[in-house]
Structure 1
Amino acid sequence: MNRVPRFSGPPLLGLNHRFLRDPVGMFMEAHRRYGDLVELDLGISGSVYAAFHPDGVKQTLLRGRRVHRALLRELLGKGLFTSPSGDDWLRRRRLIQPLFHEDRLAELTPLLLRSLDEVLERHWLNAGTVDLAAEMKRATVAMMVDATFGRHGDVDRAVAREELSFLLRYVDDRLFTFVQPPRSWPTPDNRRYRRSIRTIRAIIADAVRDGRRRGGDEPTFLNGLLASRGSDPEVRFSDEELVDEVLSIFIAGTETTGTALTWALHLLATHPAAGEGLLKEMASELPGDTLTPAVLARLTWPKAIVQEAVRLYPPAWALRRVTDDPVEIGGVRLPAGSRLIVSAYVTHRHPQVWSEPERFDPVRWLPAGAAERPRFSYFPFGAGAHQCMGNMFALLEGELIITRLAQRFRMAPFGRSPVRARPTIALAPVPGPHLEVIPIS
């Protein structure tokens, strides 16, 4: 049997300091030095096997069991995002899946555009320059809140947006800062965290009760969840389960999407040829200000820009699994109980799969540039049974934002500081890029 090369660190500590400081850099070095399957030494925490080739990614994601940090389980409860595989997970997935079908998402388009246009009117028209990361978070949070609750009812959207934004920052800090006081300590952030959870859960619970009482025909996520039924008419979500699922949709669908779109617009602004391709297609396919699902479906450049951005900076940049049974990867049989990790950041740059992997090139996603690639060579939102169901919603948000901004503004980079990726829940660009925005009269 082949021996797995080992990437070692100092005694006791191992590679933990690098894992927290620069995990994607560590993964890239591991792949460059040791190949497609590497044992990473985590000191007293034991070892984890990193699989970088698409074949190893396939075995890891199809054969491994998900593991989650205690913070996410505490925050999100027993929602689909944190539920282990099994009958309950399958029940939840079957109830939620219809919400993300293409036809239902298309019905959300007018609602999403109204939310986006409100953000642009208030924060972009007279801005001159914008903090791209802050504005993408603002836009995606607003779009997610309205896509969930709709435009009617008594939901305090401003408070929901404020609390959601704080929780996203808190989770980032807790997961990716080396030294943190325990959550039980009464620090200002910990107190605010507990208060924010209570507030956002109360908002969702009130909306659930109101929705059960009044009903509604808007194609929102909440209405869809309230109407969900399995093959057995008695199989549906309880009110408590609905709160968990809505909060999971919030957390999973805002931070990652906002960060992905920050990268997409930064890359678009710094690669003029891609911008020219987008504007040329829009001039021929997009009449006036009209932007409907049918028109959006004809455009190929907005989706290609998002797909290429998340190839380079994938939201699900690393995924952990544990094997319950032995698994063979790269000719090596790993025992049951092995801990595995895959990194889309590395696999999306694998030289055996991608030509010029570091280059931003949306053309590779257009019909004329499409190429056959292994199935697990591209997994920006995960893959296998646990692939994020919200990936189509994220792509829809991205296409809408890119297209609408190109309709209404000319955009150019503001400042020339090099931008690098800082691993958080997603891969945050640091320093945050700014754009000069000029309204098109």
Structure 2
Amino acid sequence: MIPRYAGPPLLGLNLRFLRDPIGMFCQARRDHGDLVELDLGVAGSLYAAFHPDGVRQVLLNGRRTHRQLLRELLGKGLFTSPSGEDWVRRRRLLTPLFRAERLASMTPLLLRPLDEALDRRWRPGARIDLAAELKKITVAMMVDATFGTAPDVDRAAARAALDFLLGYVDHQLFTLLTIPRSWPTPDNRRYRADIAALRRVIGDALTARRRRPSGQPTFLDGLLDNQGDFTDEELVDEILSIFVAGTETTGTALVWALHLLSLNPEPARRLRAEVADVLGADAPTGDRLRLLTWPRAALREALRLYPPAWALRRVVDEPLQIGEHTVPAGARLIVSSYVTHRHEGVWARPEQFDPGRWLVDQQRHRFAYFPFGAGAHQCVGNTFAQLEGDLVLTRVAQRFRLDPLPARRTGTKPAIALTPVPAPTPLLLPA
């Protein structure tokens, strides 16, 4: 019989799930093991699998579901689509955009807004709000990666709308009580105005690119090259998916990476030394980035400890065997990368930030590490996120050392991405 983690009658664990899902998952595994039935009261049961063997079964055999609210907010792109033929069709449209050689050619597009931000706002001797800064930087990088440098796009409007929408969606999804979106509150009015403005900017850019291709390896040009039977409205939905999936999660991962490097001087020193040896003060290019190992190792280790996509849900249509137990047909299941990435039966020193573990050959279970998901539904943009991470960590290492605020403990806030609270504010020192 599958161990059961029960809550109060009718309500079950719902309030705990909403207030502290990660704490609940950690306690469930600690008290009940690697497969647990979570009691959600009148809402039924949710089965959580924590060992990589169970994660494998869930992600390979489960059917992806979607949250209707996300589709209402963001349209019907890949990010919000459930499993099925339409998802496969959308995946085929996007996959060519994220091939490694194509992404490498995007490096100058991504470097321009990054350097602009570091030049304007980062100063030695100042404290920097990493969460606010990395959000601005990743939004700006995503806008330029999508639209390129052509002057016929209202980048300021796109950046402002995207910045607001990310926070609005976060609040709608992860707040216990929200004001109905039909009410004319200032935030609801701004949401409707900004989503319309962003869709208009994207639509206008599509029209302009169709008349005059940019000649740059942008996401917009790539979508038009592969449009096939997709309507322009569907392309707009896909760009919104790319915006949301590629900014909030990547930005948060980089906040954690820089924060952890500020707390761990030796890995930070080794990263700076490698960057100085390979690049000096030169701007990183796609080819030379591939010669670096420490920026990627640091990002991977940050994603292990604090994966932005901290939980994934699935549904099974047939009974599913997980270890010695059988989960019934129709069951809802969840896996938590946060818990699995810290599983002491899988990882040595699981709570320790150790980028060096990624620089030695080790045999790991395929499903011990899945910050971007795994199986058929692994995030199509994982290679883009890694490129952004390599660029940001490399460029920051060329120019700064980060000194943490003493005696300040950082916790986690599970939302669209696993956010650090309070936001780290390290002191910037010359490299």
Q: Match for residue 157 of structure 2?
A: 159
1:425 paired to 2:407: no
State the TM-score, normalizing by the size of structure 2.
0.97
SS in 1 for 2:150: coil
1:208-223 matches, within 5 Å, as 208-223=206-221
Q: Does 1:242 align with 2:240?
A: no
Q: Deviations over 1:28-65 (max 9, x none)?
A: 00000000100001111111000001111111111111
Q: Is the 8 A contact 2:59 2:374 kept in 1?
A: yes
1:178 corresponds to which residue? 176
Letter of the aligned partner of 2:225 in structure 1?
A
User: Which of 375, 379, 393 is matched with 1:388 structurally?
Assistant: 379
- Aligned residue runs from structure 1 range 86-105, under 5 A: 86-105=84-103
1:181 is displaced (CA, Å) by 1.9
Per the alignment, in what secondary structure is the counterpart of residue 106 of structure 2? helix
Question: Cα offset for 1:288?
Answer: 3.0
Paired with 2:347 and 2:129, the residues of 1 have a C-alpha distance of 32
User: Matches of residues 26-45 of structure 1 in structure 2 within 5 Å?
Assistant: 26-45=24-43
8 Å Cα contact 2:73-2:169 kept in structure 1: no
Q: Which residue of 2 aligns with 1:25?
A: 23
Q: Secondary structure at the match of 2:191?
A: helix
Q: Deviations over 1:192-228 (max 9, x none)?
A: 1111111111111111111112122100010001101
Q: 1:283 is matched with which residue?
A: 276
CA distance in 2, matches of 1:85, 1:339: 14
Match of 2:307, SS state, is coil
SS in 1 for 2:38: strand
| Equivalent residues of 1:228, 1:236 under 8 A apart | no
Q: Distance in 1 between matches of 2:361 and 2:113?
A: 33
User: What is the CA–CA distance in structure 2 between the aligned matches of 1:123 and 1:283, rounded to whole Å?
Assistant: 23
Structure 2 stretches lacking a partner, 5+ long: none
Alignment CA distance shift 1:288-1:181 (3 Å): closer
C-alpha displacement of 1:127: 7.0
TM-score by length of 1: 0.95
Distance in 2 of aligned mates of 1:71 and 1:258: 23
Contact preservation (8 Å) 2:65, 2:83: no
Aligned amino acid, residue 55 of structure 2: V
Q: Quote how far apart the aligned CAs of 1:421 are.
A: 0.9
Paired residue for 1:409? 400
Which of 71, 80, 92 is 2:78 aligned to? Answer: 80
Question: Size of the alignment, in residue pairs?
Answer: 431
Find the counterpart in structure 2 of residue 379 from structure 1.
Answer: 370
CA contact (8 A) 1:225 1:237 kept: no
Distance 1:219 1:127, change over 3 A: farther
* CA apart distance, 1:16: 0.8
- What is the CA–CA distance in structure 2 between the aligned matches of 1:319 and 1:405, rounded to whole Å? 32
The runs of 5 or more residues in structure 1 that have no matched partner are 230-234
Distance in 2, Cα, partners of 1:436 & 1:236: 51
Moved more, 122-131 or 292-301: 122-131
| Runs of 4+ displaced beyond 3 Å | none
Q: Equivalent residue for 1:362?
A: 355
Could you say what secondary structure the match of 1:152 adopts? coil
Structure 2: distance between partners of 1:218 and 1:293: 15
Which segment drifts farther, 86-95 or 292-301?
86-95
- Cα separation, 1, equivalents of 2:395 and 2:97: 24
Cross-structure match for 1:311: 304
How far apart are residue 237 of structure 1 and its match? 2.4
The one-letter code of the counterpart of 2:345 is: Q
- Partner SS for 1:204: helix
What per-residue deviation string (whole Å, max 9, x for no partner) do you get for residues 253-307 of structure 1? 1000110000000000110011111122123222332311121101100000000
